Amino acid sequence: GESVGLHLPTLSVQEGDNSIINCAYSNSASDYFIWYKQESGKGPQFIIDIRSNMDKRQGQRVTVLLNKTVKHLSLQIAATQPGDSAVYFCAENESGGGADGLTFGKGTHLIIQP
């Protein structure tokens, strides 16, 4: 079946720099996208979501960009902090006939260097 995947398994950034985590998806019918943060020993924690009728959405220190033409999703984290260290997953869903629940990518491990 179609799936969501990530370009890089590990991303290392300096504290205070901006981080960009990328995600490619293959299901052109996907219309809902979401980013989760998962710290060690914890469940995924919601960060931000976006629907396919938008191409950008901003939250607190985070921005999600959606490019439907190339089926690409990115998460930008501004002024990265040590607490941002975690694995980040993108996930997608197709309404009106797609699989129930969210389909997750494999994750990117974000490492913050002091």
Partner 1 sequence: GAGVSQSPRYKVAKRGQDVALRCDPISGHVSLFWYQQALGQGPEFLTYFQNEAQLDKSGLPSDRFFAERPEGSVSTLKIQRTQQEDSAVYLCASSLPSGGTNEKLFFGSGTQLSVL
The Cα–Cα gap between 78 and 53 comes to 24
Its sign, for the CA torsion 42, 45, 105, 21, is negative
Q: How far is the CB of 90 from partner 1 (least distance, A)?
A: 9
Q: Does 8 bind partner 1 (CB under 8 A)?
A: no
Site string for partner 1, 36-65 (x = CB under 8 A): x----xxxxxx--x----------------
CB-nearer residue toward partner 1: 5 or 16:
5
Residue 4 near residue 33 (C-beta atoms within 8 A): no
Binder among 21, 91, 110, 112 for partner 1 (CB under 8 A): 91
CA angle, corner 106, sides to 64 and 7, nearest 5? 60
**Of residues 92-111, which lie at the interface with partner 1 (CB under 8 A)?**
93-95, 99-107
What tokens appear for 61 in the block?
């220190």
- Using CB under 8 A, count the residues that bind partner 1: 25
The span from the CA of 33 to the CA of 35, in Å, is 7
Query: What is the binding site for partner 1 (CB under 8 A)?
Result: 31-32, 34, 36, 41-46, 49, 89, 91, 93-95, 99-107
